Amino acid sequence: MILSIEQLSVSSGEKKIIDCVSLSIRKGEWYALVGQSGSGKSMLSQAIGQMLPSNLRMEGVINFNEHNMMSLSRKQLGDIRGKKLSYIFQDYQGSFTPFRTIGQHFQEYQKVHGINNKETRRMKTLEALESVGLDETFYSRYAFQLSGGQLQRASIALALMFSPDLVIADEITTALDSVTTHRILELLAKRQKESGCAILFITHDWRHVRRYATRLAIMKSGEIIESGGKHRILDHPQHEYTKQLIKAAPILEKGLPSGLDREVSYESTFC
Residue pLDDT, tens place only, 152-194? 899 999 999 999 999 999 999 887 888 888 989 999 999 999 9
Half-sphere exposure at residue 218, Cβ-oriented, CA atoms within 13 angstroms = 21
**CA-to-CA separations, 104 to 50, 150, 177, in angstroms, rounded:** 26, 16, 28
**CA-to-CA separations, 173 to 3, 176, 180, 200, 211, in angstroms, rounded:** 24, 5, 8, 14, 15
Residues of the chain with CATH 3.40.50.300: 1-84+167-258
Q: State the pTM of this model.
A: 0.88
- Label residue 251 by pLDDT band (50, 70, 90): low
Options 3.30.450.20, 3.90.850.10, 2.60.40.2470, 3.40.50.300; CATH for 1-84+167-258 is 3.40.50.300
pLDDT digits (tens, 9 = 90+) for 18-52: 999 999 999 999 999 999 888 999 999 999 999 99
118-131 helix and 148-159 helix, angle to the nearest 10 degrees: 120
| Positive/negative CA dihedral, 184, 41, 216, 236 | negative
Please name the residues in contact with 46: beta carbons below 8 A apart, sequence gap of 6 or more: 52
pLDDT on residue 270:
35
Q: Which of 213, 255, 256 is nearest to 234 (CA)?
A: 213
